[in-house]
Structure 1
Amino acid sequence: MKYRLEKDSLGEMKVPVNAYYGAQTQRAVENFQISNLRFSNQFIQSLALIKKSSAKINSQLGLLDKDIAEKIISVSEEIINGNYLSEFVIDIFQTGSGTSTNMNMNEVISNIAIEKSGGKKGDKNSVHPNDHVNLGQSSNDVIPTAIHIALIKSITFDLIPSLEILEKALKKKSIEFDRTIKTGRTHLQDATPITLGQEFLGYCGQVQNGIEKLNDSLKWLSKVALGGTAVGTGINTHKDFARLVCEDISDSTNLEIIETDNHFQAQSTIDGISGTAGVIKSLSLSIMKICNDIRWMGSGPRGGLGEINLPSVAPG
């Protein structure tokens, strides 16, 4: 493999010649050979979305040259659209603040923009990864913001629509089985009669509760840390930067993203993330319970309950 030399504050690093990342990313790759797990594409694309809006707003505020901003915006859009995702090579287990992955993004955007302008990778003068791409930002506010945005997008566009399909199917079955009387059980012991429809109505309610709790979690996640920079004080960023970036992201995604009113809380805790994880865990337990009940009612055909027929999907 051929290499080129790039420099960071600690010295020179050999970087694969075709890679768009730079010295800090390569250093992190060598430092964090832990799990071979990588950040999801949804997270990487959310991080690129922040870089795009940041360049746009910094330019509008007169802090970033318009030509440089347009180059950053153009490359960020390519990443958002699914290009260059293989350039994000750092293990998910790294510095707690995600500094390495933030710099991975900054370097990739910088080098692609430089190359598209006719320059050479690593020549940071025209589009600098720190001074231009990361302007007004810190890993400490950008990374948690990207996590929140990625979660909001996944919950809004993937998880809730899937749950709504499941809820509708369970509701349909509850109506279909409304007059099918069977034995109700507590602790697997026969109790009193119940309809199969009533049992499915219970399953439907579990899914409905999960959807409601997920919608509540979106309110927690919508408040993001962007604007606090290193420790929550907002040093080295324009006072209107985060608010305007959040408004721009909201406009482009049709999602509610707002700057937190308490940066010290937002940057020193993961309350929104851990709360959402709790909701997803609770929902997972509900889905597991539904699956186990259906499996138990479909047991047999000779020695089990045999109360429902599950269609065969594979031999064995």
Structure 2
Amino acid sequence: MLEKNVTTFIACDKPYDEAEFVLWGAPFDSTTSFRPGTRFASSAIRTESFGIETYSPYLDKDLEEDARVFDAGDLELVFGDSERVLEQVKQMTQIIVSDDKIPVMIGGEHSLTSAPVSVLARHYPDLQLLHFDAHTDLREDYLGNPWSHASVIKRCHDLLGDGRIHSFGIRSGEKAEFYWAKEHLDMHKFNFDGLEDLVEQLDGKPVYFTLDLDVLDPSIFPGTGTPEAGGVSFDELRIAITKLAGLNIVGLDVMELAPHYDHSGVSTAVACKIIREILLTFSK
């Protein structure tokens, strides 16, 4: 008898009822400020994931044995309607959280992060946001659009308020954004200095982790819509993620791969490996 052909991220094929994590794709890039293409990320990541091993020699863990992840596929999102798409993402997040599972969103553009943050902030009134990125993303709006990916952390601040957003790797933004951040955010420019101290401070608190992959240097990760020179290395990012192992992660996302800008496929391979390390790091 033939079986239904379903492509999942490698080894993320556990039954929903048994899953700790629910991984799903959000193929949307209507507000990108430079180069579009992140809507192709989740499908490329699933396909290319079969080029990496399920076993992590860094963590001595295996996705087959040490993680319980259900891949729910991609949402069918309305192209060009940011507010409607955000509602769709909220609905998906609510289903997963209501079933006492951890949502793992694969973007797609970074603007979508505000949707799961809004849902989880209702479930966890003391929610903290941990943010790895090249960009401040603190504009009130971009070309009149308050839901732009250049405004996503400002929208998250609208939800969470001062002192609950912790940004690392930031190296690009308007002067006004950096000065605003000094008053309202916990921002660490250029690298992950201060991360270990923060992990101690966040012990026991619910944390949403958002990773914009352009935190990586474009020499390692050119496949993104807004590349910024001067980023971190793969190992620096991997080690930083490992340091988060003790946190109470209640949701996370990995955003902003635009696979077609790297015809070698290396950027997608890097994204796949980072997702593997994240899932294994946070698996109970």
More helix by share: 1
More strand by share: 2
Into which bin does the TM-score normalised by the smaller protein fall? under 0.3
* TM-score computed with the length of structure 2 as normaliser: 0.26
Q: Which structure has the larger Rg?
A: 1
* TM-score computed with the length of structure 1 as normaliser: 0.24
